[in-house]
Structure 1
Amino acid sequence: MLNITTQLTLKEITFFIPQDPQISNISIAVDRLEAFVLSHMILMPLQFSDLIRFPTGSIVPSGYHNRMIRIHNNGRGHFVVNNAVVNVPNVCSSSLGIKCHGVNKVINYGRATYGNLSNELF
């Protein structure tokens, strides 16, 4: 889903996977698919046991420039990235460089700007 330039630089990531019904309810233009994928990742592989060590209010960069993920750590039962609850931790933890966690919704960043376009995003 990502272009070859992006693929070469993303060898170790944490990806937050929205539930299927959430993804199917949004419309993503082909030219924005890469932004969607990158905005749902952190550029380091983190098991849930690593994520849970972040204190509430921590801000980490997403894979998409100028997009930050705020962590709300209320323990294993309610760990939130921006507006999305991590509800299925360690989905693809067997991969060496890629860690995945299921989230209950698409991560929201509010108003975002892409070039000359300003849109409500994800």
Structure 2
Amino acid sequence: MEFRENEAIYLQIAAFVGDNILIEKWIEKIPSVRELAVDLQVNPNTVMRAYEFLQVKEVIVNKRGIGLFVAPEAKEKLKSYRKEKFLGQELPEFFRNISLLEISIEEIKQRYETFIQTNNKPEQP
């Protein structure tokens, strides 16, 4: 995983965990703090901070003595959190850029439709 300098590493790890939950790679149990720290080559305390963040957001739950698990409504909570973040922070910047660059809504719509067609094809065996 390549980390970006403009965002805290624990938030990037939380997003990585969220991605794996949303794509259903992790349906029930998630990797332990140590396992993920080794996989991502980061300090376990950083992973612990990401997991604490996700627990506060009710995306994961800690079952004492058993491990960390995906919360029952994790996908809905993740989508809601990410949607609010996108609409509040990223969308205004996106609008500013398309306005400055004089990109039409029609061009954005066309590229979005192409993106959806390209990325929603069934995977080949």
| TM-score (norm. length: structure 2) | 0.25
- Flag the structure with higher helix content: 2
Rg larger in structure: 2
Structure with the larger RCO, 1 or 2 (CA within 8 Å, 6+ apart): 1
| TM-score (norm. length: structure 1) | 0.26
